[in-house]
Amino acid sequence: MEIAIRNLTKIYSNGHKALKSVDIEIHNGMFGLLGANGAGKSTLMRILVSLMQPTSGEILVNGKALDKHRKEIRSMTGYLPQDFSSFPKLRASEFLDYSARLAGVKDQSKRRDAVEEMLEEVGLFEARDRFANNLSGGMKRRLGIAQALIGDPKIIIVDEPTTGLDPDERIRFRNLLTKISNRDVIIILSTHIVGDISSSCNQMVLVQSGNVVYQGSPGNLIKEATDKVWRISVPHEKFDEANLQFNVISTIPSPEGWELEVVAEKPEGYQAVSINPNLEHAYVYYMENKLQNLKTE
């Protein structure tokens, strides 16, 4: 599978430019779309699932234009929106049965088998007779991904899937998506949570104010922050000053004051030790430094 997004622009009626000449190539596996809230991620997701028309540009799926083959491409796409809600008067199994019918599974026996298999896969089989509205937040998100997966779609799009989940549910959800990504599918994961990308995606883009400012692997983005992450020792009286001076990632109390993990050029005036960066460090460094440099060019 391959999705090619070419020169995609979306301008709303109020003049807001949500997407600005976006070019992205997406292949099989888990693809991360990372950016702050309001960066344009949800607009792109809605265009990909045919809920919104772009102002200009095109999307090709295996070489076929989305605007000319909308029904065919939509039939192979599963979608979990950020504001997913189920039908409150349906049980979990009934809701999935309804979703399977919408996905084109007409045979009742095949549909029943598909529903049971999907409930098992997302860990909801024991809750199959509970009303969907009575499920916990994490269980509702699992039901949401189940409805996105029913019918064996080749493209799976999930928008901010772990927002509001506790840490255990977030890990479980990411593990489920990672397992599914081993199939011959594309999973597009849109999020503002760096951990969702670093633990599961082998491809990613970074979106800022409607622009794609980075496209590549998480590993290559991490390399951008090499020698830019430090652990510094700060006495109590300089704690507020250091927080204003640096991009602080974490703070740990120590007998002499504080140990701060910061993203910066080599800190002057502090005892500093260089540490290996992770994706969160790279994201902060890129957004605070690389993008500022782009603005001044």
Contact by Cβ (8 Å): 171, 161: no
Q: How many whole angstroms separate alpha carbon 223 and alpha carbon 245?
A: 23
98 CB-contact burial (10 Å; exposed 0-12 / middle 13-18 / buried 19+): middle
HSE of 160, CA atoms in CB hemisphere, 13 A:
18
**pTM (2 d.p.):** 0.86
In order along its 297 residues, the chain shows pLDDT tens digits of 899 999 999 999 999 999 999 999 999 999 999 988 889 999 999 999 999 999 999 999 999 999 999 999 998 999 988 877 767 789 999 999 999 998 889 899 999 999 999 999 888 999 999 998 888 888 888 898 889 989 889 999 998 887 777 788 788 878 888 888 888 899 999 988 888 888 789 899 999 889 999 999 999 999 989 999 999 999 999 999 999 999 999 999 999 899 999 999 888 888 899 999 999 999 988 887 766 654 544
- For tokens 């690389």, name the residue: 290
DSSP 267: P
pLDDT (0 to 100) of residue 103 = 86
163: its two tokens: 């927002």
The strand ranges marked E within 28-126 are 29-34, 56-61, 64-65, 77-80
Q: Which residues of 30-49 are buried (b: 16+ CB within 10 A; e: fewer)?
A: bbbbbbeeebbbbbbbbbbb
Residue 117: how many CB atoms within 10 A of its CB? Answer: 13
First to last CA, the chain: 37
Q: Which residues of 193-213 are buried (b: 16+ CB within 10 A; e: fewer)?
A: bbbbbbbbbebbbbbbebbbb
pLDDT (0 to 100) of residue 286 = 85
3-state secondary structure of 11: strand
- Class of the domain covering 1-76+154-216: alpha beta
What contacts 155, CB < 8 A, 6 or more positions away? 1, 3, 61, 73, 76, 77, 78, 185, 186, 188
Helices and strands per DSSP (H, E), number in the chain: 11, 14
Residues of the chain within CATH 3.40.50.300 domain(s) are 1-76+154-216
Q: What stretch of H or E contains 191?
A: strand 186-191
142: its two tokens: 């699992």
What contacts 132, CB < 8 A, 6 or more positions away? 86, 87, 88, 90, 91, 92, 95, 140, 143
pLDDT (0 to 100) of residue 279 = 92
The amino acid that residue 237 corresponds to is E
